[in-house]
Amino acid sequence: MSDSLLIFGEANEAYHDNACASSSKLKSLNEKGALYYRKRYITKEIPKEEQTDALRLGCAIDTLVTVSVEQFDAEYVIKPEGMSFATTVGKDWKKAHCQGKGVISWDEWQMMQRLHAAILAHPLYPVLIHPRIKSQVTVRKPTTKYGTGLQSRPDWLSLEPCALSEGRKYSVNLKTTADWSDWFNESDPGGPQEGKPIYNYGYHRQAALDGWVLFQSPDVGETAHFLMVAEKEEPFRVGIVQMSETYLEAGWHETEFDLLRLQECIEKNEWPNGPADIVPINPPKWLTDRAMRKAAS
pLDDT digits (tens, 9 = 90+) for 29-81: 999 999 999 999 999 999 988 888 888 999 999 999 999 999 999 999 999 99
On the question of pLDDT at 106 being above 70, the answer is yes
- Burial, 29: exposed, middle or buried (Cβ in 10 Å; 0-12, 13-18, 19+)? buried
Q: Does the residue 129 lie in any domain?
A: yes
* pLDDT at site 77: 95
Q: Which residue range is the domain that position 13 belongs to?
A: 5-50+122-296
* pLDDT bucket at 191, cuts 50 / 70 / 90: low
Counted domains in the chain: 1
Answer whether 247's CB lies under 8 Å from 204's CB: yes
Indicate whether 272 belongs to any domain.
yes
pLDDT at 1: 45
Residue 264 lies in a domain: yes
Q: State the CB neighbour count (10 A cutoff) for residue 189.
A: 8
Examine residue 30 and state whether it is found in any structural domain, yes or no. Answer: yes
Q: Three-state DSSP class for 62? A: helix
Task: Answer whether residue 284 is part of any domain.
Answer: yes
List, in sequence order, the alpha helices (H) in the chain: 12-17, 23-32, 34-37, 53-62, 69-75, 88-97, 106-121, 125-128, 180-183, 196-200, 203-216, 245-268, 285-296
Say which CATH number the domain at 209 has. Answer: 3.90.320.10
Alpha-helical regions (H) of 38-87: 53-62, 69-75
